[in-house]
Amino acid sequence: MWKVPVTQKPDQCLGEWIDREALAEAMIPLIGQLYRNNNVVSSIYGRSLINRSVISILKAHRFARHRQTDETELSVHETFPLLKAMSELKLGAASVDLGKLANKFKQEGNGRTAEQFVREELADVVGQQNASARKGTDVVLYGFGRIGRLLARILIEKTGGGDGLRLRAIVVRKGAENDLVKRASLLRRDSVHGPFDGTITIDEANNTITANGNLIQVIYAKSPSEVDYTQYGIDNALIVDNTGVWRDADGLGQHLACPGAARVILTAPGKGALKNIVHGINHGDITADDKIISAASCTTNAIVPVLKAINDQYGIVNGHVETVHSFTNDQNLIDNFHKGSRRGRAAPLNMVITETGAATAAAKALPVLKGKLTGNAIRVPTPNVSMAILNLNLEKATTRDEINEYLRQTAMHSELHKQIDYVASQEVVSTDFVGSRHAGVVDAEATIANDNRVVLYVWYDNEFGYSCQVVRVMEDMAGVNPPAFPR
């Protein structure tokens, strides 16, 4: 019988694991102190390290083997010295990717110590602790459904020292006498995304929810005209409309008439002249004069970054986008009347062909695509995670390996690294992408290429991944984005 050669002894493997565990454990307080005291957000190739466990930190290092230029596994022995050096430099607000920093140190260290390298690489924020001009921005979530509650989780997670986005209130219609208890329970427990990571308490006398130290006022109102945010100490607030009731400037403009409100973001495709913003693509179009913008749709956010990357390199002649989308609250649980075609049929039992405006909306964020794409959608009996199939005709011929490698490099090193992720496994399925913070994940094993025709499969968490994109747009609109390193 053929036997696998043993190159390590069991005690050696376990000993190395324990050593890595100890270093990862030592990283946790450093990551936390940098976050809370310096507003420094640490990550590894886009995987946040804030409030993560030892195992999560080690998994982030393991993941990075696909992102290193030499594809070796990133070691905590490489990242810990850099993190330690960062903790001693009184840094100002920054976003630091330890994976990329370690890789750059490996490639360009040139004999410098970790301390010397970090000091030079992060020179712009060294010694800038508490010197930042950043000011916290009040945020109100108007509507508290699937997206609203996930936005709340992300905002609470990112509170840090409190000078970024501050969730101050949610506005809902009162549904029952025990409404506050039910709202808090839905924030605490989620059938798809699991339990809330922290503590939640309620004060029924004052209609507040306190989540990880964030005091959130629950305001009951049937329309924006009933709300005065200044009564709750909220001013110059960013209102995030999650209801989808209003899609144009006139309807959403009702929020701006509320005392204490300053700007509005819609978490759905906007109509009329509203700017539809896909972060990573056209967020630079946001100006100080913009009072109302749209964060587009989950599908638009998933496909546009990949389409831009492909168009930049190969040129898109035309194509078709087919979305395989999880069912949503807009559909019926069982057969019943619905004003939309086919959507009245039971969502958990049927695949339902329906329309999508994503192909048309893509051109709003990326005008070069205008008139080049068609689109359709199939709703399927899963509660979350969707897939976009991009069937494209290109100006340049390519191969499967070439286009996959290009997209892998784009996911690693381009300005779209927060939007595009990449996976190369024959075993992944939809539930593996629940909680993905990227707008979309290219499935390399499914890629088809034949001369100038290519078919790409892009997974996306249509709830959480989209919510992360919305928060990025919010940070841009509020002007609370810190500088990112390495450059």
- Distance from C-alpha of 89 to C-alpha of 127, rounded to nearest angstrom: 6
- Residues paired with residue 386 on neighbouring β-strands, in sequence order: 460
Q: Among 37, 266, 260, 269, which Cα is nearest to 142's?
A: 266
Annotated catalytic residue, options 13, 258, 298, 468: 298
What DSSP character marks residue 482?
Answer: P
Which whole number is the average pLDDT over 268-292? 94
pLDDT digits (tens, 9 = 90+) for 348-381: 999 999 988 888 889 999 999 999 999 999 999 9
Residue 368: inside a domain, yes or no? Answer: yes
Q: Where residue 71 falls among pLDDT bands split at 50, 70, 90?
A: low
Q: Examine the domain organization and report whether 46 and 110 are in the same domain.
A: yes
Q: Examine the domain organization and report whether 224 and 325 are in the same domain.
A: no
Backbone angles phi, psi at 250, to 5 degrees: -65, -50
pTM, two decimal places: 0.92
Sheet holding 484-485, edge to edge: 47-48, 40-44, 94-97, 484-485
Per the prediction, the chain carries an average pLDDT of 93
Residue 289: inside a domain, yes or no? Answer: no
Which whole number is the average pLDDT over 238-253? 95
pLDDT of residue 275: 95
Q: Examine the domain organization and report whether 108 and 153 are in the same domain.
A: no
Residue 197: inside a domain, yes or no? Answer: yes
Chain-centroid distance, C-alpha 323: 20
- Distance from C-alpha of 396 to C-alpha of 311, rounded to nearest angstrom: 10
Quote the radius of gyration of the chain (alpha carbons, Å).
23
Q: Which two tokens stand for residue 159?
A: 């509170």
Angle between helices 76-87 and 114-121 (to 10 degrees): 60
- Neighbouring CB atoms inside 10 A of 225's CB total 11
Q: How much of the chain, in percent, has pLDDT values that exceed 90?
A: 83
pLDDT digits (tens, 9 = 90+) for 299-358: 999 999 999 999 999 999 999 999 999 999 989 999 999 998 999 999 999 999 998 888
Which whole number is the average pLDDT over 402-430? 94
Residue 207: inside a domain, yes or no? Answer: yes
Residue 285: inside a domain, yes or no? Answer: no
Which is it for strands 165-172 and 200-203: parallel, antiparallel or unpaired?
unpaired
CATH number, position 427: 3.30.360.10
pLDDT of residue 162: 80
Distances (CA, A) of 407 to 108, 121, 320: 24, 27, 19
Q: Examine the domain organization and report whether 47 and 191 are in the same domain.
A: no
Which whole number is the average pLDDT over 388-407? 97
CB 223 within 8 A of CB 194: no
How many domains, in total, are found in the chain? 3
Q: Where residue 17 falls among pLDDT bands split at 50, 70, 90?
A: very high
Which domain range does residue 99 map to? Answer: 8-123
Residue 455: inside a domain, yes or no? Answer: yes
**Quick check: 1 pLDDT over 50?**
no
CB 448 within 8 A of CB 60: no
**Quick check: 68 pLDDT over 70?**
no
Q: Examine the domain organization and report whether 101 and 150 are in the same domain.
A: no
User: Domain end: 103, 123, 143, which one?
Assistant: 123
Q: Examine the domain organization and report whether 51 and 111 are in the same domain.
A: yes
Residue 484: inside a domain, yes or no? Answer: no
CB 472 within 8 A of CB 279: yes
Which whole number is the average pLDDT over 26-34? 96
Q: Examine the domain organization and report whether 176 and 116 are in the same domain.
A: no
CB 433 within 8 A of CB 421: no
Q: Examine the domain organization and report whether 38 and 75 are in the same domain.
A: yes
User: Domain end: 69, 102, 123, which one?
Assistant: 123
Q: Examine the domain organization and report whether 142 and 257 are in the same domain.
A: yes
What DSSP character marks residue 390?
Answer: E
- The residue whose two tokens read 């508290």 is 144
- Distance from C-alpha of 366 to C-alpha of 461, rounded to nearest angstrom: 22
Which whole number is the average pLDDT over 261-276? 95
Q: Examine the domain organization and report whether 139 and 249 are in the same domain.
A: yes
**Quick check: 3 pLDDT over 60?**
no
**Quick check: 450 pLDDT over 70?**
yes
Residue 72: inside a domain, yes or no? Answer: yes
Largest CA distance in the chain: 79
Q: How many residues does the chain have?
A: 487
Q: Where residue 473 falls among pLDDT bands split at 50, 70, 90?
A: very high
- Distance from C-alpha of 43 to C-alpha of 66, rounded to nearest angstrom: 15
Q: Examine the domain organization and report whether 451 and 313 are in the same domain.
A: yes
Q: Where residue 470 falls among pLDDT bands split at 50, 70, 90?
A: very high
pLDDT of residue 297: 95
pLDDT of residue 63: 82
- Distance from C-alpha of 61 to C-alpha of 47, rounded to nearest angstrom: 9
Q: Examine the domain organization and report whether 322 and 420 are in the same domain.
A: yes
**13 belongs to the catalytic site:** no
Distances (CA, A) of 438 to 157, 359, 391, 417: 17, 19, 21, 8
